[in-house]
Structure 1
Amino acid sequence: MADELDPSMIEKYLTNSNDAFYINLTRNGKDIFPESFNPSFTYPIFGNDEAIIGYENPQIDLKFRAYDLKPSVKFTYDSKFKAIGETEAMDVEGMLKEFLPESAFEAPAQNGASSTNKSWSPSGELVKEYHRDGKRFQIWCSTLLDEAARDILRNMRILVPLLIEGGTPCHYLDDPDWSLSRWKLFLLYEVRVAKDKVSTDYTLAGFSTSYRLWVFPDRTVRTAMGERVPSPPPESELDFEENPDEDEAPGPRQTTPPPEDAKLNLELDGENTTCTSLGAPSRERISQFIILPPYQGASHGSALYDTMIDMFRADKWVYEITVEDPNEEFDALRDYQDLAYLQTMPEFALLTMKADVPSELLAPDADVPIDYLVDQDLLDKLQHKSKISPRQFARLVEIQLLSSIPPGNRSTNRLIRREKSSMKEDRMFWFWRLYVKHRIYIKNADQLIQLDLEERGPKVAEAVEGQLQEYLERLEVFERRKKRVVRDAPANGGASASRSPEARRKGKGKRVIEDDEDEDEDEDMGMAVEVTGKKKRKIA
């Protein structure tokens, strides 16, 4: 195309696909939001360049009926490039058809998207209601065995790649029933009394999905869930080793059903219980999580996350709560909400780093005295009680321990004398760094062993410094949030404005394991997690 056209013609027929794509919700055929919003990512549809080629002033208008997300799309342009040889305009509608049902390309009056069912109500169970700035919101939960829930998710599946980096449409909607029963769909709606003063108008504000993974009930799992399990002799230990980094394990879907006829009996809360496929020790894993851009910046992400976690935590069969491949924004939201919950536990809120350690525990050939620095049995108890995954819980413990050290003492410049410093607070910070270094060494042993011996220390020290800066940012924002947001408050939660689509696109591809830098961690989350995304591994 460049060989046949001058630069002005190329510019005329080349448009950024994010900027040409407009999304809105409708009721009775009319837009609900005064301004349509743009997607954050369109490369799954139009390629890595995120460009529409071959049209002058192209515009894609994607509308969703507010309550059930029935879609309708319209593609318009001023002029179309005439093909020269093999160079021709993109088939925009053909590309969109891979992500939208066929009916979406019909006129709204024909496919029913402009009509309203006044008797409609969300499927599933109402699990939470709250208010923000005088507006009422509800969170509903349903399994994907419910056909209406599947239809909603099928209608809006294009939003996953448009709003989640690396997101793929929901390809599991045609799974067998045993798998669908393990999926949950959470729908967040703004709820208003309709103009007729009788019916109720529902407008989708966000949604999330989760999947239940069966866990082999080894001794650790059974003990954590309250069963009295006798300790076997050390030489006959037969426990299956759990994945120590479950958040990053591939999944979350199981390809075969859990054992329906396992005949496994557990004694929970003093009662003998026979497990079933859903009533068995499990991990609940959060998959997609989206707050629509017009509703971002008002703590709806926090409300949806807390509601889901509270529901999972109250389920006696949920052993652990995990997240599949969280991005930077969701990592921040998760840290704030999990830390707020843990600080309601007096034993966690009182965790501090010790300032004095017996000299024999610090001998050159001694192991790092993590059991002396922090009561590991207590941490195990709190981790199982909270049902937070081990990796996430370890982060929160490190943040909590850091918060016990005065800000003026959180500097390596003060550690010249290390553990022999005259100031108690400086010694606490030195031991905090030692504690984090130990965790980093253990977690990244396979990578570190590939480095020369003299390179390992500086690499770990660099990772600790990066972790410190991330934690300091988390604590700063967390303290601001605590001053104005009460967890589960019925009204007036808040967070700063979310980033623009342009700012989000600039951050595309920046994924690391733990030492990510969030550009604005005080925002409410717009896009968060996706089951098929991948992260770049770093020492952290």
Structure 2
Amino acid sequence: MSHEKIRPRLLDIDDAVPRKRKDYEEFVSSTADIFSIAMVGNYDDFSAERCGFAAKFTHQIFETDKIYGYKNLSVLIMFALGDFQVFPRITASKVVPEDMGKPDDIRGQFEKFMELPVCHSEAEFRQVLAKQSAFRPFGRRVAEYEKRSGTLVQTFEVYNVTEMSPAFADYIRRVQFAAMFFIESLNYTPSTDKRWEYYILYEKFNKSGEICYATLGYCAIYNFYMFPEYLKPRIAQFMIMPQYQLCSHGKRLLQEVLLQIASKKSVWFSTVECPNAAFQYIHDFVEASNCSYLASYAPDRLRNGFSDEMKEEAFSVFKMNKERAKRAYEILRLVDIKRGDRDEYNRFTKELKKGIYAKLRCKTLDRVSDGELCRPSDEEGSGSEEEVDQPADERSIVKAKYCELLRGYLCVVAQLKRNERPLPAPWVLKTKQNGNAS
């Protein structure tokens, strides 16, 4: 089936017939079902009509979630591996006749949303792919790692970008455009705000004797000012492209990002903006792995509970706040509990629930002081004053939060138990040791 736009037969006046509602509905497609995404190095690898990864979110681009003018519509949004130039490949069995209206301009909508041009033909995109060997990463290389499988050795590099250029502004906009199909409500970062910085993960490989780079993912960070002279970096966006997921690249990229942040004297501590469950898992995994190298988090000390020494060492070495340091402790303690040791497990769960209860009570008291609770009713003496949550309600809330927290922890624990040292030793430990020695 051709991937080019199908030209309808022009109708004569005598051919015109009354149209029914269902005639128009045949040419309406839901955006939830028609879009797929692919990172492309060789165009011929994507000759099949149905290929790529299904898009999860499209409402930011197509607000009505509907496209008019095509029958059996399929759109494969192809991104060049290196510079992420875009080619929306549109396939349809039929285009709406002219007397039934004009079909939606899909490529035009992409260009309007990105404020950048896209490729309009297969030939144009093939030319783009032929030039990918000329693409080079932006910024400064800060890390490199390898993955081995038999005789195959793959090389991956992390680059840090702190200065915006017109070329990088266009590049990161295309990368974020791809990420929008998988992260709900993701926005473009403004190119004029100098507080943004980026970490980009690339695969470095040899193709026909030429060094090439493929974009695997990125992390966008906003550096908030913190009085009097510190920064509080906030991880705002984090994405590994779908075809590179489930290969530990997210963990390696996030570990490097957190270590780079921790190595800066100007940083007080780092935070994360509205993490989803997938990122929360990676974040917990990386920080628990990092903390497992600290003396205060040794197994024999974990059994004594969370301590000020743990809090201070996690802050000093990794710029972690108290809450993150405690989460790492709870995960590592759960790892350390031997299978079948019910007494130790019960002590741990009791401690976990106690922490949840204390946090809940603290939030409730804050709400009372803000006037959210205990407000008198409009009618005096009606006896219908709102009251602070009853103990029974608190117990159910604590139980729900405990179950949710434990589910998240157990996913991390299962991975940590499979490999005693799943991530390399944090290089900031050597930096700290050398600094102390000098």
State if a TM-score over 0.5 links the two structures: yes
Q: What is the correspondence of 1:39-118 to structure 2 with a 5 Å cutoff?
A: 39-47=55-63, 50-81=65-96, 89-107=103-121, 109-110=123-124, 113-116=128-131, 118=133
Which residue identity lines up with residue 433 of structure 1 in the other structure? K
1:216 Cα shift?
0.5
What is the alpha-carbon distance in structure 1 between the residues aligned to residue 262 and residue 47 of structure 2?
35
State whether structure 2 residue 277 is matched by structure 1 residue 328. Answer: yes
In structure 2, the CA distance between the partners of 1:117 and 1:466, relative to structure 1 (3 Å rule), is: same
Equivalent in the alignment of 2:266: 317
What is the alpha-carbon distance in structure 1 between the residues aligned to residue 392 and residue 309 of structure 2?
31
1:72 Cα shift?
2.4
State whether structure 2 residue 136 is matched by structure 1 residue 121. Answer: yes
Equivalent in the alignment of 1:470: 404
Equivalent in the alignment of 1:166: 185
Equivalent in the alignment of 2:172: 153
Equivalent in the alignment of 1:379: 311
In structure 2, the CA distance between the partners of 1:119 and 1:89, relative to structure 1 (3 Å rule), is: closer
Equivalent in the alignment of 2:320: 388
Equivalent in the alignment of 2:392: 458
Give the match's secondary structure for 1:211. Answer: strand
What is the alpha-carbon distance in structure 2 between the residues aligned to residue 55 and residue 109 of structure 1?
23
What is the alpha-carbon distance in structure 2 between the residues aligned to residue 44 and residue 347 of structure 1?
46
Which residue identity lines up with residue 362 of structure 2 in the other structure? I
Residue-pair matches, total: 385
Which residue identity lines up with residue 158 of structure 1 in the other structure? F
Equivalent in the alignment of 2:356: 436
1:436 Cα shift?
2.9
What is the alpha-carbon distance in structure 2 between the residues aligned to residue 213 and residue 28 of structure 1?
41
Q: What is the correspondence of 1:66-465 to structure 2 with a 5 Å cutoff?
A: 66-81=81-96, 89-107=103-121, 109-110=123-124, 113-116=128-131, 118-132=133-147, 133=149, 134=152, 135-170=154-189, 172-173=190-191, 175=192, 179-180=193-194, 182-195=195-208, 197=209, 199-217=210-228, 280-350=229-299, 351-352=301-302, 374-376=306-308, 378-400=310-332, 426=346, 429-447=349-367, 450=373, 455-465=389-399
User: 1 or 2, which has the higher helix percentage?
Assistant: 2
1:295 Cα shift?
0.8
In structure 2, the CA distance between the partners of 1:462 and 1:290, relative to structure 1 (3 Å rule), is: same
Q: Which moved more, 1:206-215 or 1:444-453?
A: 444-453
The 8 Å contact of residues 356 and 402 in structure 2, kept in 1 or not, is answered as: no
What is the alpha-carbon distance in structure 2 between the residues aligned to residue 90 and residue 375 of structure 1?
61
Give the match's secondary structure for 2:160. Answer: strand
Which residue identity lines up with residue 196 of structure 2 in the other structure? W
1:324 Cα shift?
1.3
What is the alpha-carbon distance in structure 1 between the residues aligned to residue 83 and residue 286 of structure 2?
29
Q: Deviations over 1:137-196 (max 9, x none)?
A: 2222222424443231123331232121111233x02x1xxx33x32222212221111x
The 8 Å contact of residues 65 and 71 in structure 1, kept in 2 or not, is answered as: yes
What is the alpha-carbon distance in structure 1 between the residues aligned to residue 104 and residue 397 of structure 2?
45
What is the alpha-carbon distance in structure 2 between the residues aligned to residue 81 and residue 18 of structure 1?
20
The 8 Å contact of residues 184 and 211 in structure 1, kept in 2 or not, is answered as: yes
1:470 Cα shift?
3.0
Q: Deviations over 1:113-153 (max 9, x none)?
A: 24315443212222222223432222222224244432311
- Identify unmatched segments of 5+ residues in structure 2: 1-18, 375-385, 426-438
1:338 Cα shift?
1.0
- Identify unmatched segments of 5+ residues in structure 1: 218-279, 355-372, 411-422, 491-540
1:10 Cα shift?
6.4
In structure 2, the CA distance between the partners of 1:438 and 1:409, relative to structure 1 (3 Å rule), is: farther
Which residue identity lines up with residue 211 of structure 1 in the other structure? Y
Equivalent in the alignment of 2:383: none
Give the match's secondary structure for 2:112. Answer: coil
Q: Which moved more, 1:186-195 or 1:117-126?
A: 117-126
The 8 Å contact of residues 71 and 156 in structure 1, kept in 2 or not, is answered as: no
What is the alpha-carbon distance in structure 2 between the residues aligned to residue 453 and residue 188 of structure 1?
52
Q: Deviations over 1:300-330 (max 9, x none)?
A: 1111111111111112222111111111211
Q: Deviations over 1:189-216 (max 9, x none)?
A: 2221111x2x212111111211222210
Which residue identity lines up with residue 77 of structure 2 in the other structure? L
Equivalent in the alignment of 2:31: 17
The 8 Å contact of residues 191 and 202 in structure 1, kept in 2 or not, is answered as: yes
Give the match's secondary structure for 2:219. Answer: strand
Residue identity (%): 21
In structure 2, the CA distance between the partners of 1:333 and 1:165, relative to structure 1 (3 Å rule), is: same
What is the alpha-carbon distance in structure 2 between the residues aligned to residue 88 and residue 461 of structure 1?
59
Which residue identity lines up with residue 391 of structure 2 in the other structure? G
Equivalent in the alignment of 1:36: 52
1:299 Cα shift?
0.9
The 8 Å contact of residues 107 and 118 in structure 2, kept in 1 or not, is answered as: no
Root mean square deviation of aligned Cα: 3.4
In structure 2, the CA distance between the partners of 1:288 and 1:302, relative to structure 1 (3 Å rule), is: same
Q: Deviations over 1:510-530 (max 9, x none)?
A: xxxxxxxxxxxxxxxxxxxxx
The 8 Å contact of residues 83 and 135 in structure 2, kept in 1 or not, is answered as: no
1:446 Cα shift?
3.5
1:65 Cα shift?
1.9
Give the match's secondary structure for 2:268. Answer: strand
What is the alpha-carbon distance in structure 1 between the residues aligned to residue 99 and residue 121 of structure 2?
32
What is the alpha-carbon distance in structure 1 between the residues aligned to residue 201 and residue 320 of structure 2?
23
What is the alpha-carbon distance in structure 1 between the residues aligned to residue 250 and residue 311 of structure 2?
28
1:405 Cα shift?
6.0
In structure 2, the CA distance between the partners of 1:117 and 1:456, relative to structure 1 (3 Å rule), is: same
What is the alpha-carbon distance in structure 2 between the residues aligned to residue 33 and residue 136 of structure 1?
28
Name which of 477, 480, 487 aligns with 2:422. Answer: 487
The 8 Å contact of residues 39 and 79 in structure 2, kept in 1 or not, is answered as: yes
1:292 Cα shift?
0.9
Which residue identity lines up with residue 122 of structure 1 in the other structure? P
Which residue identity lines up with residue 37 of structure 2 in the other structure? I
